[in-house]
């Protein structure tokens, strides 16, 4: 057998790089804007937090390029795409407003609050790494439709949907850029001079924005003013942070545990998504090194956990290899250390960047359906729904709580722990479709435990905040056991389970 040649770089890696870079860039910009608005000084935000996060990104991207090479050699093929890696948006918001915000409000000292953030980040990495002990078992026992459906919920709402809104904030610019992305990345047509589609879209979009005066030229000088030198600096400041986590801010553990578990489950889901499109990685290895990357970043001032990105499948669709991952890590470290990330975020209008992430949303939702049996489509859809509630809750409940409550009192509790809720309901429906009522009962029982302990349908870890949710799951579990022992044979005999009770997508 001829030994496979797996290149360090190929042309398609350019598109993959821009997609991943813009995804990371969007989160880094949100971090900078949010922390500065909270009261953290630029010296901490640009000088410590952003470079520290960039160290995590560099480590993860290089390691995942290494994993891609191992998979290419193992399977003797050169079309392997490295996993994408970065700061996941939901955990980012939790750390911003559930850790860094309260830490600053209580201590009134940005320096101490930042050290508390480093300690919290390190603990989050520990939980992520420990997730590798159970990651394979969970992946083996959760149906693919439930995992991909929950992930598709994130892609449809927070990535594809919200960035589609951003695309239309400058309609002329956004629509033109989106059209280029659809032609180049979805239809896979060559751009003029064979320029990568994402790069071509950014160039055309930015030129149009300033030519048509839909972007203020002062943004260019404002952006250039942020350029400087902010090298990553090793620090043990988290040790002081741990003193506070074990004292007045002990309650933050109630925030850290569930969001860290969410992180390693998100990694599991994204690894499963890549397996669905042909690249079957070791989920335990990915979870372990997610955690290690997070911990390493915390030693350089980072305060946000990292994970395998939902953008992985988009990169696979683009035909990227491992080069896009390595380049992203190196460029991000350089850009963070020189203040270029802040400059780019001010110079390039958001509607120019947004369509690239709309494509990521399209690819993820499409993969969720194309990678499961047709009869499992309803499970994918059901698993997506909780994230619709989560989107409304996170985006509108703070500013318009009364409107959200009047729309439905269930939006907030359904949005809390949406990843877990999507996984549970998706699994239940798959097991029903497969006549496996005992497994459906176990999934419902798991839902009862998660709801009773506050992992879902509650704002924080607590016991029996609302008994109705765990009771509902428990009654369902009993009902499924009854179906298993009493009605299952009759349903199978009459042929109702797949032809009448369930929507028949085979016709």
420/307 same-domain check: no
Q: Is residue 441 part of a domain?
A: yes
Question: Does 1 reside within a domain?
Answer: no
Which of 27-35's residues contact partners 24+ apart within 8 Å by CB, and which partners?
Answer: 27/86, 27/87, 27/89, 27/92, 28/53, 28/87, 28/336, 28/341, 28/345, 29/341, 29/342, 29/345, 30/92, 31/87, 31/92, 31/96, 31/304, 32/342, 32/345, 34/96, 34/97, 35/96, 35/100
81 part of a folded domain: yes
* Residue 168 belongs to some domain of the structure: no
- pLDDT tens string for the chain (507 positions)? 567 788 888 888 888 888 788 777 767 876 877 788 788 998 898 889 999 999 999 999 999 999 999 999 999 998 999 998 888 766 777 788 778 887 888 788 999 999 999 998 998 899 888 888 877 787 788 898 888 888 788 889 887 888 899 899 999 999 999 999 999 988 989 888 878 788 888 889 999 999 999 999 988 888 888 788 889 999 998 888 888 776 555 556 655 665 677 677 778 878 888 988 889 999 889 989 999 999 999 999 999 998 887 678 888 888 899 999 999 899 989 988 988 877 877 788 888 888 887 887 888 788 889 888 999 999 999 999 999 998 998 888 888 889 999 999 999 999 988 888 999 999 999 999 998 999 999 999 999 999 999 889 988 778 899 999 999 999 999 999 998 887 766 656 655 544 444 445 444
Q: Is residue 387 part of a domain?
A: yes
Residue 365 falls inside a structural domain: no
Q: What does the pLDDT look like over 239-275, one tens digit per residue?
A: 888 887 765 555 566 556 656 776 777 788 788 889 8
250 plus 336 within the same structural domain: yes
Q: Which ranges of 371-455 does DSSP label H, i.e. alpha helix?
A: 377-396, 401-407, 411-415, 418-433, 437-452
Count of domains forming the chain: 2
Instruction: Let me know whether 327 and 405 are in one domain.
Output: no
Same domain, 278 and 398: no
- Judgement on whether residues 298 and 390 belong to the same structural domain of the protein: no
Same domain, 140 and 87: yes
Whether the CB-CB separation of 283 and 272 falls below 8 Å is answered with: yes
Sign of CA dihedral 71, 142, 464, 402: positive
Q: What is the per-residue pLDDT across 283-324, written as a single tens digit (0 to 9) for each? A: 889 989 999 999 999 999 999 998 887 678 888 888 899 999
**Are 316 and 462 contained in the same domain?**
no
One domain for residues 340 and 419: no
In terms of domains, do 336 and 380 share one? no
Say whether pTM exceeds 0.95: no
**Residue-level pLDDT at 502:** 46
pLDDT at 505: 44
User: Do 330 and 448 lie in a common domain?
Assistant: no
Instruction: Please tell me whether residues 242 and 129 are part of one structural domain.
Output: yes
In a domain, 491, yes or no: yes
Do residues 152 and 271 both lie within one domain?
yes
Task: In whole angstroms, give the CA distance from residue 108 to residue 211.
Answer: 45
In a domain, 174, yes or no: no
Domain containing 78 equals: 12-162+216-347
């Amino acid at each position: 057998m001829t030994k496979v040649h797996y290149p360090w770089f190929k042309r398609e890696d350019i598109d993959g790089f821009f997609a991943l870079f813009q995804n990371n860039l969007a989160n880094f910009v949100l971090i900078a804007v949010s922390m500065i608005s909270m009261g953290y000084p630029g010296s901490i935000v640009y000088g410590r937090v952003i470079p520290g996060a960039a160290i995590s990104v560099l480590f993860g991207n290089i390691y995942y390029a290494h994993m891609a090479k191992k998979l290419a050699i193992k399977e003797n093929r050169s079309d392997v795409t490295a996993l994408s890696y970065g700061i996941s948006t939901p955990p980012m918001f939790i750390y911003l407003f559930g850790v860094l915000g309260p830490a600053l409000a209580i201590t009134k000292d940005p320096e101490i609050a930042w050290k508390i953030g480093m300690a919290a980040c390190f603990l989050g990495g520990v939980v992520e790494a420990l997730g590798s002990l159970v990651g394979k078992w969970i992946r083996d026992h959760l149906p693919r439709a439930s995992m991909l459906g929950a992930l598709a919920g994130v892609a449809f709402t927070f990535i594809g949907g919200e960035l589609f809104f951003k695309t239309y904030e400058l309609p002329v610019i956004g629509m033109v850029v989106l059209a280029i992305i659809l032609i180049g990345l979805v239809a896979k047509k060559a751009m003029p001079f064979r320029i990568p589609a994402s790069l071509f879209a950014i160039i055309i979009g930015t030129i149009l924005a300033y030519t048509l005066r839909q972007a203020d030229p002062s943004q260019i000088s404002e952006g250039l003013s942020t350029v400087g030198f902010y090298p990553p600096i090793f620090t043990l400041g988290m040790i002081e942070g741990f003193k506070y986590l074990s004292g007045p801010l002990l309650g933050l553990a109630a925030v850290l545990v569930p969001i860290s578990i969410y992180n390693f489950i998100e990694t599991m889901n994204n690894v499963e998504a890549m397996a669905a499109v042909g690249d079957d990685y070791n989920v335990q290895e990915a979870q372990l090194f997610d955690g290690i990357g997070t911990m390493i970043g915390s030693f350089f001032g980072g305060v946000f956990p990292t994970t395998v990105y939902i953008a992985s499948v988009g990169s696979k669709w683009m035909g990227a290899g491992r080069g896009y991952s390595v380049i992203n890590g190196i460029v991000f470290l350089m850009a963070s250390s020189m203040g270029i990330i802040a400059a780019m975020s001010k110079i390039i209008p958001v509607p120019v960047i947004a369509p690239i992430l709309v494509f990521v949303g399209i690819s993820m939702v499409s993969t969720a359906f194309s990678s499961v049996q047709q009869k499992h489509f309803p499970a994918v859809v059901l698993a997506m729904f909780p994230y619709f509630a989560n989107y409304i809750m996170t985006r509108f409940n703070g500013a318009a709580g009364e409107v959200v409550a009047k729309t439905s009192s269930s939006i907030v509790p359904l949005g809390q722990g949406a990843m877990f809720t999507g996984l549970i309901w998706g699994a239940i429906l798959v097991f029903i479709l497969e006549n496996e009522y005992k497994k459906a009962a176990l999934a419902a029982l798991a839902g009862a435990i998660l709801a009773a302990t506050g992992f879902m349908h509650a704002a924080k870890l607590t016991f029996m905040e609302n008994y109705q949710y765990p009771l509902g799951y428990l009654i369902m579990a009993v009902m499924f056991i009854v179906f298993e022992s009493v009605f299952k044979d009759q349903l199978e005999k009459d042929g109702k389970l797949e032809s009448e009770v369930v929507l028949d997508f085979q016709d």
